[in-house]
Structure 1
Amino acid sequence: MTTPFYVSPQQAMADRAEYARKGIARGRSVVVLQYADGILFVAENPSRALHKVSEIYDRIAFAAVGKYNEFENLRIGGVRYADLRGYTYDRDDVTARGLANVYAQTLGTIFSSAAEKPYEVELIVAEVGDGPEDDQIYRLPHDGSIVDEHGSVAVGGNADQISSYLDQRHVDGMTLAEALKLAVESLARDSNGGERSLTAEQLEVAVVDRTRPQQRKFKRMLGSQLTRLLEQESASAEADSEADSDSETSAEESSETEE
């Protein structure tokens, strides 16, 4: 009679976590930033049918990386939860915190169950408030834990490097164009420190904008609108660069005149 193979619970959970992390890291990154009028979502995603960023409810949006079929099931479940709660009670009772708790319970149960593999997904649930101080951003890793984020957050791919880049450059009160420029720059950096060029066709961009007059605050940035927004910030950066150059030239000429 052979002895059953034994694996300690700690080792089993560590192996499951490593399995999930590797699956998530293979996907392209998603970046979420707060800006003056709301929350910006930017994902490197050339597909126009398989979305990484979606609306959940009036003020709540969802972003995910990892296996599409797994996070799509979670998205659908979140929409059903939000619709049922809003219909049964009140629309204001649907919050990002409540939705994050539901996702945390689901992911935690799947992760700790030995009967099935862990989900290879990482989620972000964000809700725009009446002011920037009321915005809520929650990150949910594969194990069902909840991380309360502020300012900026990145998941998937080389998320650690992107998060470090964002933390150093993100400031409160950024315009939409400035936040989009920073998000694209962070996504364009590869793991070796080099930079790529990302076009509007390679990006999936959406906002939850508190200034929209309608009840639903979610809006996708598509086509010419996204291209104009990218070009607007690019033109602004070039103008600032030329102004700095002119200022330096004037200073040099002034110094030569004084001599």
Structure 2
Amino acid sequence: MSTPFYVSPQQAMADRAEYARKGIARGRSVVVLQYADGIVFVAENPSRALHKVSEIYDRIAFAAVGKYNEFENLRIGGVRYADLRGYTYARTDVTARGLANVYAQTLGTIFSSAAEKPYEVELIVAEVGEGPEDDQIYRLPHDGSIVDEHGSVAVGGNSDQIGSYLEQRHRDGMALAEALKLAVGSLSRDSNGGERSLTADQLEVAVLDRTRPQQRKFKRVLGRQLSRLLEEGGTSASAGETSDGDSSGESSASEE
């Protein structure tokens, strides 16, 4: 009888983590920034049907990179959790922290299970508050850990390089056009140090705008409005439309 091949638990977990990180790194990056009136989400995503950024609830939005089918399942689960909690208790009881905890439990269970492969996804859950000091941004890697972020955060692709670029240049109280210019500038930087030109047609942009009078603070920024903001920020862009987002929209493209 042959002896079973033995792999230490530490090595098995390291291999699973490496597998997930490589899958996430193949995706195009998403950047999330705080600005004076809320939180802006900017992703390199030419698709108009498959979104990387989506609404979850009144003040909460979700961004992801990695495998589309995996983070789309997580997004749908988050919407159901938020709707059920808001209906059972109160709308104010639905928080980004609670949603992040649910996602952390799900990702952690999948990552530690030897029966299935780890999810190749990295998530951002953000909630806009009454003021900048009340904003919440949480990053959730593939293993289900939770990182409380402030100011700016990047996931996917060359996120380390983009994160360093943002950390050096982001400041509190930025206008939306200024924050958008910074986000696009960070996404346009290649891993080899070069720069690309990104137009409005290649970007997916959404905001959680605390100044909106309605309960739902999520809004997609498209077309002419996006082009105008990019021009105000000193970046070239193209034309189109503007629309509000909703939690029933699709999420981003596979491996995008």
TM-score, normalising length: structure 2: 0.91
Cα deviation for residue 135 of structure 1 reads: 0.2
* 1:54 equivalent in structure 2: 54
The one-letter amino acid paired with 1:155 is: V
User: Which structure is richer in relative contact order (CA contacts within 8 A, separation 6 or more)?
Assistant: 2
Q: Residues 79-94 of structure 1 correspond to what in structure 2 (within 5 A)?
A: 79-94=79-94
* 1:215 equivalent in structure 2: 215
* 1:182 equivalent in structure 2: 182
* 2:252 equivalent in structure 1: none
* 1:122 equivalent in structure 2: 122
The alignment partner of 1:192 has SS state of coil
* 1:42 equivalent in structure 2: 42
Cα deviation for residue 232 of structure 1 reads: 1.5
Q: Residues 30-179 of structure 1 correspond to what in structure 2 (within 5 A)?
A: 30-179=30-179
The alignment partner of 2:126 has SS state of strand
Cα deviation for residue 210 of structure 1 reads: 0.2
* 1:244 equivalent in structure 2: none
The one-letter amino acid paired with 2:44 is: E
Cα deviation for residue 113 of structure 1 reads: 0.2
Q: Identity of aligned pairs, percent?
A: 91
* 2:200 equivalent in structure 1: 200
Uncovered stretches (5+) of structure 1, i.e. residues with no partner: 236-259
The one-letter amino acid paired with 1:120 is: E
CA distance in 2, matches of 1:60, 1:153: 16
Cα deviation for residue 233 of structure 1 reads: 1.6
* 2:242 equivalent in structure 1: none
1:71-118 CA distance string (max 9 Å, x none):
000000000000000000000000000000000000000000000000
The one-letter amino acid paired with 1:80 is: R
TM-score, normalising length: structure 1: 0.90
1:13-56 CA distance string (max 9 Å, x none):
00000000000000000000000000000000000011000000
* 1:228 equivalent in structure 2: 228
The alignment partner of 1:183 has SS state of helix
Uncovered stretches (5+) of structure 2, i.e. residues with no partner: 236-256
Select the structure of larger CA radius of gyration: 1
The alignment partner of 1:27 has SS state of coil
CA distance in 2, matches of 1:153, 1:25: 15
* 1:13 equivalent in structure 2: 13
Aligned residues, how many?
235
1:193-247 CA distance string (max 9 Å, x none):
1100000000000000000000000000011110111011218xxxxxxxxxxxx
Cα deviation for residue 186 of structure 1 reads: 0.1
The one-letter amino acid paired with 2:159 is: A
The one-letter amino acid paired with 2:31 is: V
- Please report the RMSD computed on the Cα atoms of aligned residues, expressed in angstroms: 0.6
The alignment partner of 2:233 has SS state of helix
Could you list the runs of 4 or more consecutive aligned residues of structure 1 that deviate by over 6 angstroms after TM superposition? none
CA distance in 1, matches of 2:128, 2:183: 18
The alignment partner of 2:108 has SS state of helix
